[in-house]
Each structure stands twice: as structure tokens, then as C-alpha cells.
Structure 1
Amino acid sequence: MSGAGKSTVLDELRRRGLPAVDTDYDGWELPDGTWDEPRMDGLLASHDVLVVSGTVENQGRFYDRFHHVVLLSAPVEVLLERVADRANPYGRTPEQRAAIVEYTRTVEPLLRRGATVELDGRRAVSDLADAVQRLAGPTP
């Protein structure tokens, strides 16, 4: 969910030298809001250890190639507070804030069902990065 801390955790993992891709950026999503499947296939084939972040309709097609599917969650009040204060402008309009509330109610339960691990996004960034790094295993 927006504001859960995904980008912040990815930044910390990259700082530690772990390869990490945030599919919200750099053209990973097609205009229909799904991942570019051939491009994602190539990305996954080219890495033994990789952290991928994103929430798209076709992400489940890749689950069999992920060792773990992590849901980073936080209460909706925390999400709304965070999106109000971050550099990314998404979440500032009343419509976007309403969408975050609705997605937390409708989409997050679906993500939870597909997840192998759920982490509380209120934890310290270093703790979250430690947890994901342990899941990722040793880097080559």
C-alpha cells in the first residue's frame, strides 16, 4: 500500500548493496497498470538475488519465481499520515487519500493471501531491511 515504507526499505537495501527494483519507476508498468511481462522475465532471469517491489494486477504470474512475497503493511491512519509528508506527491488529494483507504480495505486482503511473509511497516527501517535481507539470503 502507498505509504507502507516500500521505497524507504528499498533505498536502505540498495545502500547495503542488495539489488532492488521499484517497479513504480523506470517503465516497468504498462499503460494498463500491469508489469511488462517480457521485461520482468528478463530481469528475474538475470539475477540470483533480487528484491522487487510493486503492486500490479499480474504480479501473481511471477510468484512461482519469488522465494518470498512480502507484504509490508501499516494501519490506514499511518499510511495517510506518511503520504501527506513524503516527497512523492501521490496521496495528497482527497481523491487519492480516499483511494488509499479503499485499496487498504479491498486490495490489501488479496495481497495478504498471496504473501508468504507480512512485515509491520511501522518498524524501524533498519529492522525491516534486516528482515528482507535475511529472506533474500546471501548476495553473490
Structure 2
Amino acid sequence: MAVVLVTGMSGTGKSTVLTLLAHNGYRTVDTDQGDWIDRTGEPMWREDRIDELIAQHERSGEPLFIAGTVANQGAFYARFAEIVLLSAPIDIVLERVASRTGNPFGKTAEERNRIIADTREIEPLLRESATVEIDTRQPLDAVLDQLAALAGAPDLRSST
């Protein structure tokens, strides 16, 4: 089974879809949570931890969804069956970060300006390396079905 990277800008729905995929029995790792990222400078994956995580799932044959957007994720692209870019228009993203409760990032004007700048600068780079782009304005169950299909799984609509 596949190891799938779910990437995208803040507010595109990475944490939401991972939570729901986990609820449906998939192994998921949100690298924004826990000790996956070295935050001493530019946020970067701790490559030894990510390498071991992927190696475990390559051996297990179980599907794995990893979410994150960090500068060194490209070092692992060859090991992902799919690189999925979640996207949404900037006005939707800003609305989502303003209303979310589980993550404080995006509440200040400075952070919102950073999201806008990052979307202009970084999202095109993510798009170039993505194997699939999913617009998260569509119904959430459709997004989940697309992700499950990439991992070789059946439609999740009846279980969400």
C-alpha cells in the first residue's frame, strides 16, 4: 500500500482530512504535531525520523498518510506513491484560519500576511512537484474519497 504526502498551505485542510482519515482506520501522521520537525531555524523535517517512519510503512504494506509543508520535504518525494497538494482560494484559506479553534496560527494580521505571501511564493513550487491537486472547496467526503483512492482503498462516503 501507498505512502502518501498531503501538503499545502496553512488553512487548506491538511489536519482536518488527516483526522478524518484516522477516524476511518488509516495510519496518519501530521508532522506539525509532535517531534517530527526541527524548529531551530527554518522548519525542517527531522530526516532520520521521517526516514524511519516511511521505512516502517514500506515494510508493513499498510497505507500511510503524512501531512506537512516544510522546506526539505522534497528529499523524500521519491519515496511517496503520491504527493497531494490540497488547495483553496486565498479568501477561503483566510476565512478558515480565522475561524479554526485547533490551531492559533493565522489569527494575527502579521500571520495572515505571511499566509498570503507563502501562498504566492510557495504554493506554485508545491504545485510543480505534486502528482495530484485536490481543491478543498468541494465536499469533504469527496476529498476523503480521492485520498483513499490514492492509497488503494474503497470509497469512504458510507463510513463518514
Query: Which runs of 5 or more structure 2 residues have no equivalent in the other structure?
Result: 1-8, 155-160
Number of the residue aligned with 2:55 = 45
Number of the residue aligned with 2:70 = 56
Number of the residue aligned with 2:135 = 120
Structure (1 or 2) with the greater strand fraction: 2
Number of the residue aligned with 2:112 = 97
Match of 1:111 among 121, 126, 134: 126
Query: Which runs of 5 or more structure 1 residues have no equivalent in the other structure?
Result: none
Match of 2:88 among 74, 77, 89: 74
Match of 1:85 among 82, 99, 112: 99
Counterpart residue identity of residue 11, structure 2:
G
Counterpart residue identity of residue 147, structure 2:
V
Match of 2:33 among 17, 25, 33: 25
SS in 2 for 1:69: strand
SS in 1 for 2:38: coil
Q: In 2, are the aligned partners of 1:8 and 1:125 still within 8 Å (CA)?
A: no
Counterpart residue identity of residue 124, structure 2:
P
> Structure 1 vs Structure 2: percent identity of aligned residues?
50
* Distance in structure 2 (CA, Å) of the matches to 1:20 and 1:129: 13
SS in 2 for 1:90: coil
* Distance in structure 2 (CA, Å) of the matches to 1:114 and 1:106: 14
Q: Deviations over 1:72-131 (max 9, x none)?
A: 000000000000000111001000000000011000000000100000011111111110
The CA RMSD measured in Å over matched residues stands at 1.1
* Distance in structure 2 (CA, Å) of the matches to 1:65 and 1:37: 13
Shift of 1:138: 4.0
SS in 2 for 1:57: coil
Match of 1:34 among 12, 30, 44: 44
Aligned pairs, number: 139
Counterpart residue identity of residue 45, structure 1:
A
* Distance in structure 2 (CA, Å) of the matches to 1:69 and 1:50: 12
TM-score (norm 2): 0.84
